Structure 1
């Protein structure tokens, strides 16, 4: 496993700790292999900031890029005792044809002290697009639960604006107006008008693949949060990508077990509901889901991948000061994931008939 070493003045570390919600980066150095890079460092995430093991956001300053990226995230995966669900999910999306950040596990040290196993994640930004040879285009993050493609908040209150819940990651503020127009169409057109207009805004096939991925991995938050929208400048259509998928594969974001049938095959959110109301799109979703269940989301396809992941992490479990378990206990979590896959596949296969 690759070793990352961060060196930082203790006063800057204390500054981060004094206000865990501060997003301003402090200066630091990171050593990767034999090379050192000047970076900006801050905490990232929401719930995780209150935990003992923090997640970090890193901006490369000198040089400006590292392996083609200007920004990376180091996720603590603190509430996922397998340390694997996020990576397994994002890799799964990649396999089924959805743009997804790449990731790898690293061993993190800060000022000589081992902070444990972290998951390095690509930032979904213009540099990722360039690395993937994708057309340039605005990127909009769904930053909270108001990003449900609706006029109504999750608390059943009228939103103050159509773009509430969204933040521009790459592009200009005017790019949000395109999303506002799309949300207005989702919520105001009749079924007949919506069917005629929706494919002028959305890459429907890719959205349905994303939907199948969220449903299979059972990320309850994934329908109204934990995603980004990318406006492909070649097609002028929105595409969608997953983000923060540790609450998956049979557990929620707090690490508690979820029943295999907790999320229905039709998923949630206003856009999904309107698309699946249209028969051709519902049948297209059924075909996509059938293919994924047959070829990708099953024990035969996933067990070797999961086994390899656990074999990589197992030797380093005792080096992580925040993990209170041994190698045998860690291995048991693999069975939780595998049992979930088997039961979830059976449940979804049974529900295909209802589509």
Structure 2
């Protein structure tokens, strides 16, 4: 029977106490990680925003030594604490890859910390230089959108106050401070370019097809937060254009960031944020988006197409659930999730098909 791999994390008791004491910070401690009989020297720390308050916390791992995982410098171990299915992130990133969007690789693992089972985690590929190398992409700066200021606007989305800077809401993962000028240019042109010039100007600095496929993926999976954070921006040094990459997609497939049910009509077909609105205001781009979304609704985003993958993930994880101290008593809700997700796909697909009729009439 196919099963998920086990990762063994060893931290000294002193360092483990320090790590827990600094759980709300980026503090990291030395540790070792054993995977498939290989031992790696690492640093480990907690990661995430609101997820740090949960009993089962997500982790960030940095590799310190040369090893067979030479194209891996960092990985993220997501606890998936509020997702009763434990599969939403994985399902999302596989879906994005299928529809032609850049997305991190994801794999479920069973994590042990100091010989005690910490539960089922999702190992996520870091969006960094190694991410680019694996895909034979040119070097370039990468920015993580870490809070809601990353809305491609001059104003904060809730307070409507002017932001401190155009690049507010982002942290630079790769690149130098000199690269920040390109991020500012993208946001500045999004805000200020006259409508008659926007199509030409934005096409010079943004991979439009990439953005439209990301938009379709976010709309189908209904990641409400993904429009103002939970994404990365990468600027290809050869093409001089930005691409967008999804990140943290556990609040999807019919549930929100707290794991609560989100109605399948909650997110509109055209999403939201300033850049999306401006792009879809261009007739050519709007037409292209409608064709991309129509094709996805016919092929990739259907219950029949996704059901085998949902069943496969459920069957893969179920034998490990009793070993997860945070999920072992939630078998009933875990077993109900495949039907819940399938129902969401059907309802969301029907809703988007209905919306597409009026959306295309305005093309």
Name the stretch that deviates more: 43-52 or 322-331. Answer: 322-331
In the TM superposition, 1:162-181 aligns within 5 A as 162-181=166-185
Decide whether the 8 Å contact of 1:60 with 1:66 is kept in 2: no
Alignment deviations for residues 144-169 of structure 1 (CA, whole Å, 9 cap, x no partner): 11000000111201111111111110
Out of 37, 41, 54, the position equivalent to 1:51 is 54
Q: Which moved more, 1:266-275 or 1:329-338?
A: 329-338
Could you give the per-residue CA deviations for residues 196-227 of structure 1, whole angstroms, max 9, x where no partner exists? 21100101111000000000000000000000
**Number of the residue aligned with 1:10:** 13
TM-score (norm 2): 0.96
Q: For residues 345 and 143 of structure 1, what CA distance do their matches in structure 2 show?
A: 29
Distance of 2:57 and 2:253 partners within structure 1: 23
Superposed counterparts of 1:103-252, under 5 Å: 103-154=106-157, 155-252=159-256
Matches of 2:98 and 2:272, distance apart in 1: 23
Does the 8 Å CA contact 1:210/1:240 hold for their aligned counterparts?
Answer: yes
Whether 1:77 and 2:80 are equivalent positions in the alignment is yes
Query: How far did 1:110 drift?
Result: 0.6
Is the Cα contact below 8 Å between 2:84 and 2:333 reproduced in 1? no
Paired residue total: 355
Match of 2:313 among 309, 333, 341: 309
Gap change, CA 1:308 and 1:351, over 3 Å in 2 = same
Consecutive aligned runs of 4 or more in structure 1 exceeding 2 Å deviation: 63-67, 324-329
The answer for the alignment partner of 1:39 in structure 2 is 42
User: 3-state SS of the aligned residue for 2:64?
Assistant: strand
Deviations 1:232-289 (A, max 9, x none): 1221110000000000000001100000000000000000000111111111000000
Is 1:282 the equivalent of 2:298? no
Matched, 1:342 2:329: no
**Distance in 1, Cα, partners of 2:78 & 2:179:** 29
Query: For 1:18-57, what per-residue CA distance to the aligned partner results, in whole angstroms no more than 9, with x for missing partners?
Result: 1212213200001001111110010000111111101110
Q: Deviations over 1:292-344 (max 9, x none)?
A: 00010011110001110000001111100011535443111111100000000
Distance 2:333 2:149 in 1: 38
- Report SS of the residue matched to 2:190: helix
Q: Which runs of 5+ in 1 are unaligned?
A: none
Check conservation: 1:16, 1:22, Cα contact below 8 A. no
> Would you say the 8 A contact 1:38–1:63 is kept in 2?
no
Alpha-carbon shift at residue 62 of structure 1 (Å): 1.7
Contact 2:251 2:259 in 1 (8 A): yes
Conserved? CA contact 1:64–1:70, under 8 Å: no
Q: Is the 8 A contact 1:38 1:60 kept in 2?
A: yes
